[in-house]
Amino acid sequence: MPETQAKEKVSRIIPMTAEELIFIQIKDLKDEFRDSRKEQNQRMDRIEQRQDKLEAKLETTRKELNERMDKQDAKIDKLDAKIDVTRKELSERMDKQDAKIDKLDEKIDTVRKELNARMDKQDNKIDKLADKIDALSGKIDSAMNHGQIITVSAISIAVGVLYAVFFK
């Protein structure tokens, strides 16, 4: 401590010139600047290291996502191909079904025409039978009238016989 006091005393005793004072301040500024530069360089090195790590992580993530997207694209392409095949198969099946339906429709029309023709024949037969029934019903009516007359006559004769038997 005595030396520092001596230096202080010396420095107090010996006045510094303005040039020496400026020189000391410049030296202090240089030291401060050098220390600041060193700190800034260290800080920049740390930042660059972090940035490099982040860029590496970003690149890894980008690669992973690209690989996943490629896989998804491949799956989509496969599904698209399956859809095309399925669409073609179903279209062919639908065409076959349409052809069957058209044939059935034609058969239905043919059967309908045949049934209508048969029904027309049946209607004609029924009409002829109805006409015959109408003709026979006229004969039956006259036969019934005739039968009624005979019945009445028979009853009259029976009543006459009974009268003669009981009252004479």
Instruction: For 120-166, write each residue's pLDDT tens digit.
Output: 888 887 888 778 777 777 666 666 777 777 888 888 888 888 877 88
| Tokens at 10, concatenated | 């010396």
Q: Residue type at 73?
A: D
Answer whether residue 80 is part of any domain. yes
User: What's the mean pLDDT in 8-23?
Assistant: 73
Query: What is the biggest distance separating any 2 CA atoms in the chain, rounded to whole angstroms?
Result: 204
pLDDT class of 12 with cuts at 50, 70, 90: low
Q: Which residues contact 16 (CB under 8 A, 6 or more apart)?
A: 24
| Tens-digit pLDDT profile for residues 56-73 | 999 999 999 999 999 999
Phi, psi of 148 (to 5 degrees): -65, -40
Instruction: Give the range of the structural domain holding residue 109, as residue numbers without chain letter.
Output: 42-139
The chain-wide mean pLDDT, for the chain, equals 85
Answer whether residue 30 is part of any domain. no
Return the pLDDT at 68.
95
Answer whether residue 69 is part of any domain. yes
Answer whether residue 113 is part of any domain. yes
Answer whether residue 61 is part of any domain. yes
Answer whether residue 86 is part of any domain. yes
Domain count, the chain: 1
User: What's the mean pLDDT in 105-118?
Assistant: 90
Answer whether residue 7 is part of any domain. no
pTM as predicted: 0.41
Answer whether residue 11 is part of any domain. no
